[in-house]
Structure 1
Amino acid sequence: MDTPGDEFMKYRSPLVSRYASKEMSYNFSDRKKFTTWRKLWIYLAKAEKALGLPITDAQVAEMESHAEDVDFAMAAEEEKRLRHDVMAHVHTFAHCCPTAAPIIHLGATSCYVGDNTFCIGNPGFSRLAQLARVIDRLATFAEKYADLPTLGFTHYQPAQLTTVGKRSCLWLQDLTMDMRNLQRARDDLRFRGVKGTTGTQASFLQCGYVLARSRHVRMPICLSRAYLVTGQTYSRKVDIDSLSVLASLGATVHKICTDIRLLANLKEIEEPFEKEQIGSSAMPYKRNPMRAERCCSLSRHLVALLSDPLQTASVQWLERTLDDSANRRISLAESFLTADIILSTLQNITEGLVVYPKVIERHIRHELPFMATENLIMAMVKAGGNRQDCHEKIRVLSQQAAAVVKQEGGDNDLLARVKADPYFAPILGELDTLLDPKTFIGRAPQQVSRFLSEEVYPLLEPFKEKMNVKIELEL
């Protein structure tokens, strides 16, 4: 018998022991799995009874009365003896249901409980509300900072200005695509049905019935459709479909959190940092973006997990081969657990993002003189100057200013050089207007407003009653 502390003597998945929510951890627990198997056997018995098989109300009632009291120790011993997990639980269920024992799992195959448990209990798509909350928090952030100018970056080099809100809309656009993909995958998921060992329903014909078979079993499970054809299993491309949308979400979260990490390095944006939080064991001043780093780390794992169902589906033999089973036990659970973790962590980040406008303003001041050169040329031409002469003047002054920045480590003094050059006297009174950062952001604020109103807020409408849940991370 295990003694207290024994759990620390064996490997525990950090996905459950450190990060995942209690709800998602329960969804992949043995209790949830095996009580669902029992419910499926009850649905099967009821359907068989309705179709005329000699199954009594007493047998069904006996099964229902023991649906939740799983003897896990007995099941483990049975599996050691039988080397078959489904039959181990058939025997365990039969032990507490002696009257119903002869009709438990009647005509079914292991995939009746295995595949259908994933279909009807698939927990990943129940996290749509969690994704909606992340989108909601970022939408609020985008609206608040819709017109706050900030340096844009291409190739991680300073580029034309954008706004803090517009940049977050790029993140939102990817997340809304993930939302639609998840909803589509959820809606496409079907009940595997009850089709026997090779999908032909032959075993049920031997029992004298088959018509409306899947319809009778499916109805209590609230899935609108069943797969019309299967082998012994549903097509393993179903797993690809489910996990590919999660992997796509992982790619989105990795990109968002990488951006946050880059901006944290510039001290323009930071994730939440708690009062007693330690950034580094060696450097006490550090404020490492550990939440964003965690999201990136786990997102890579989520993306990598997609290779499992891809390979599994490609190597299935004819109507069935068992080399999918052990892999699916790991890849399916870990994918949904990981998606749960990165969503909860990202929600926590988006609920506490901190923006430093003064730092952003300083960075703009440092780069804007170079970006404003075209505006200066246009203003000089309007004042009667020659475009080519002006271009040459600014080229020379810009290179001198760049040398100060790069070779001497000084500030960008291009504007001081422009002001000191008599050639630019006609436009000196316009410089403040020409260099106003808000004249460099184009239609970014209007784009934010339209995107939120036309694409984001309508997508969130079905989840409006679930928006008040906040996330506090334990680790």
Structure 2
Amino acid sequence: MVKRYTRPQMGEIWSDLSKFRFWLEVEKAICRAWHKLGKIPAQALEKIEKTYVDEEVLRRIEEYEKVYNHDVLAFVSAIGDQIRGYTQYFHMGITSSDIVDTALALQIREALRLILQDVDLVLEELKRLSLEHKHTLMMGRTHGMHAEPITLGLKFLVWYDEMKRNRQRLLEALDNISYGKIAGAVGTYSNLDPMVEKLALEELGLKPEPASTQIVHRDRHAQVVFSLAICATSLEKFATEIRHLQRTEVGEVEEPFREGQRGSSAMPHKKNPIHAERICGLARVIRSNLTASLENVVLWHERDISHSSAERVILPDSFIALDYILNLFLSILKGLKVNKDRMLKNMDLSFGLYASSKILTLLMEKGIDRDIAYQLVQRCAMRSYREEIPFRQSLMEDTEVSKYLTQEEIEKAIDPKSFLKHLDYIYDKVFGGDKDGSDV
């Protein structure tokens, strides 16, 4: 991922320096296990425990790899330079994937935990906004057209509930990726005592792959990328809504526009939803990586490396991009400008036609055949559209409608607040019965 979209903490997790440090962490855990089983003497383990990876060691790994064309062997040799006389005890009885896949689980686990922190911050802000704007009236839209009144808080509540599901998916992916394998070339422990795997993975906080081959199976990694991709897609959904609501013709919300910011090189008046658009663009990148991750599940026999090159791109990029757009979305939410007056003004653009469903229901409750009632309401609605007059006026002036509905009944149905009488019920479903949401 390009530096422009890389936040420092997530970028560090996916750096080469961190990768080799994760590898060394796994190697040391294996050596400790061998020591407990009496295969590595205390003096050798003491020397191994002092090994490290810094910029100089990283340079040495790169030099060895130019010769070997094999990064794990390059790493082993660079660490071997620090334990001369004891190299026979390092990387003993294991294969490259024992280190790479187990360390990758640690790396992904750390990255997922950071993503979950990001998600929790977004959830907290969505909860705050849903409560702050619980009664901020606005028009609900379907197919881009006026439908029935909602509140801005309800929109944020919907997003909050969706992000809770994303959080759950991420937690499930975290559990499913927390597996390692230290079982040798094809998973048969041919040069290992299975206790090495058990002891080392316990120390690392991982579970053993029940039936590994040379690798930890890639359906686990695909689930991780899926959870990232669907979370990114949710963010794109939310950002797209903000983009629509910021359009000149709508103007109900605006993403932050800081002092000194410029929107266009040619048009000084422009305040474009560039951050919401950026979220949409990067979400597409994350989502596209899911295809490669699914294809990585299919490997030849006990393993080939067709997945390896793809993972070196899609895993860091997906995590880094999602970390970035989660925090970008959070900054949008915190600085979002809400134009309540414009929301009310926009409601009047459809002359009160949002009440057509209520009028239809009222007529049906009076015992009128549904199809006849529909025709009556539609006739009044089309007149309101055509003549640009209030829907209530069209209804009250219709001789057929007036036979069944009083002016008071029509006025009550037109009141937008009448559409929101069950708002508390919806909030209670999401917040577990605590109206202020404090239990979330």
Give aligned-pair identity as a percent: 23
TM-score normalised to structure 1 length: 0.83
Match of 1:435 among 386, 403, 414: 414
- Aligned match of 2:343: 360
Give the corresponding residue for 2:51. 66
Contact 2:256 2:337 in 1 (8 A): yes
Alpha-carbon shift at residue 149 of structure 1 (Å)? 2.5
2-structure distance, mates of 1:22, 1:431: 59
Q: Is the 8 A contact 1:196 1:203 kept in 2?
A: yes
1:30 is matched with 16
Where 1:71 maps in the other structure, the secondary structure is: helix
Letter in 2 for 1:43: A
Whether 2:103 is the aligned partner of 1:124: answer: no
The CA deviation at 1:240 is: 0.7
Q: CA deviation at 1:412?
A: 4.3
Farther off after superposition, 163-172 or 85-94: 163-172
Summarize the alignment of residues 300-315 of structure 1 with structure 2, pairs less than 5 Å apart. Answer: 300-314=284-298
Residues 169/247 of structure 1: CA separation in 2 closer, same or farther (3 Å cut): same
Q: Which amino acid aligns with 2:219?
A: K
| 2:319 is the alignment partner of 1:340 | no
**Counterpart selection for 1:279 from 263, 272, 295:** 263
Q: How do 1:420-459 residues align onto structure 2 when only pairs under 5 Å count?
A: 427-428=406-407, 432-453=411-432
Go from structure 1 to structure 2 and tell me whether the alpha carbon gap of 1:19 and 1:386 turns closer, same or farther (over 3 Å shift). Answer: closer
> Structure 2 vs 1, CA of residues 222 and 415 (structure 1 numbering), >3 Å: closer, same or farther?
same
Paired residues of 2:286 and 2:321 also in contact (CA < 8 A): yes
**Alpha-carbon deviations, 1:24-61, whole Å to 9, x = none?**
000000111111212221111111111111x2323222
Aligned to 2:178: 190
1:297–1:387 distance in 2 versus 1, CA, 3 Å: closer
**Which stretch shows the higher mean deviation, 276-285 or 27-36?**
276-285
Alpha-carbon distance in structure 2 between the residues aligned to 1:388 and 1:107: 79
**C-alpha displacement of 1:66:** 2.5
Q: What one-letter code is carried by the residue in structure 1 that aligns with 2:268?
A: P
| 1:196 and 1:232 in contact (8 A); partners too | yes
Cα distance per residue 1:305-328 (max 9 Å; x no partner): 0011111212x0111112221111
What is the CA–CA distance in structure 2 between the aligned matches of 1:104 and 1:323, rounded to whole Å?
27
| Residue 134 in structure 1 maps to residue 118 in structure 2 | no
Cα 1:359–1:32 shift into 2, 3 Å:
same
Q: What one-letter code is carried by the residue in structure 2 that aligns with 1:326? A: S
Change (3 A) 1:427 1:96: same
Among 233, 240, 251, the residue aligned to 2:215: 233
Q: Deviations over 1:444-473 (max 9, x none)?
A: 343124312359999986xxxxxxxxxxxx
Q: Secondary structure at the match of 1:351?
A: helix
Residue pair 2:245, 2:254 contacting (<8 A) in 1 also:
yes
CA drift at 1:430 = 6.2
Q: 1:379 to 1:318 in 2, by over 3 A?
A: closer
TM-superposition CA deviations, 1:40-88 (whole Å, max 9, x none): 21111111111111x2323222222222335222211111111111101
Alignment of 1:349 with 2:336, yes or no, is: no
- Residues of 2 paired with 1:396 and 1:443: CA distance? 29
The answer to whether the 8 A contact 1:139-1:452 is kept is: no
Residue correspondence of structure 1 range 25-174 to structure 2 within 5 A: 25-53=11-39, 55-69=40-54, 70-122=56-108, 123-126=110-113, 127-174=115-162
TM-score after normalising by structure 2 = 0.89
| Cα distance, 1:370–1:337 mapped onto 2, change above 3 Å | same
- The 1:455–1:83 alpha-carbon spacing in structure 2 relative to 1, beyond 3 Å, is farther
Aligned residue number for residue 384 of structure 2? 401
Instruction: Write the letter of the residue equivalent to 1:450.
Output: K
Gaps of 5+ in 2: none
SS at match of 1:212: helix
Tell me whether 329-338 or 166-175 shows the greater mean CA deviation: 166-175
1:275 is matched by which residue type in structure 2? E
| Alignment partner, residue 201 of structure 2 | 218
Superposed CA RMSD: 3.1
CA contact (8 A) 1:163 1:445 kept: no
Q: Post-superposition shift, 1:428?
A: 4.6
SS of aligned partner of 1:162: strand
Q: What one-letter code is carried by the residue in structure 1 that aligns with 2:278?
A: R
CA deviation after TM superposition for structure 1 residue 286, in Å = 1.8
Q: Provide the residue aligned with 2:187 in structure 1.
A: 199
Q: CA deviation at 1:380?
A: 8.9
In structure 2, what residue type is equivalent to 1:73? R
Q: Number of matched residues?
A: 433
Q: What amino acid maps onto 2:179 in structure 1?
A: F
Report the AA paired with residue 274 of structure 1.
R
- Offset of residue 373 of structure 1: 4.4
Any idea what the Cα deviations from partners look like across 1:142-174, whole Å, max 9, x if unmatched?
112222232111111211222212222222222
Aligned letter for 1:221?
L
- Which residue of 315, 318, 322 corresponds with 2:301? 318
Aligned residues of 1:366 and 1:412 also touching (Cα < 8 A): no
Q: 1:459 to 1:68 in 2, by over 3 A?
A: farther
Letter of the 1:125 counterpart = L
Structure 1 letter corresponding to 2:15: S
Check the 8 A contact 2:186/2:302 in 1, yes or no: yes
Q: Which letter maps to 1:452?
A: F
Structure 1 residue 121, shift from structure 2 partner = 2.2
